[in-house]
Amino acid sequence: MLLINPADAQQNGIADGDMVCVESPRGKVDIKARVTDEVKPGILSSTFHFPEIMLNVITSSVSDSLAMCPEYKVVTCRIRKAKKAHLRKAGEVTEKV
């Protein structure tokens, strides 16, 4: 589930329950939208704890130089209503090669 602010959802033509394509420089993934004011405009929120969603595919490959811990929690991305939502399952991934 992708939490998206109502203003951002409206600007991108996304309704509650729509499949959304979230794309970063590393890849893209489709995930179901939940329109809510629980997140601020310009911020998207989801969890990477469920492997079937595959959100780690779009996150940064940068790691903390001291802890060697990857940065999974912040990534710039674009969103749009999924073009083939009726053909894909939630969490289906397309990796850039």
Q: Average of pLDDT values for 79-93?
A: 65
pLDDT in tens, 26-71: 888 899 999 999 999 999 998 766 666 677 777 777 777 787 776 7
CATH topology assigned to domain 2-91 = Barwin-like endoglucanases (2.40.40)
CA nearest neighbour of 54 among 27, 80, 86, 33? 27
Buried b (16+ CB within 10 A) or exposed e, 70-87: eeeeebeeebebbeebee
Do 27 and 94 form a contact (C-beta atoms < 8 A)? yes
Do 79 and 22 form a contact (C-beta atoms < 8 A)? yes
pLDDT above 70 (res 25): yes
β-strand pairing of 2-4 with 27-35:
parallel
**Model pTM?**
0.73
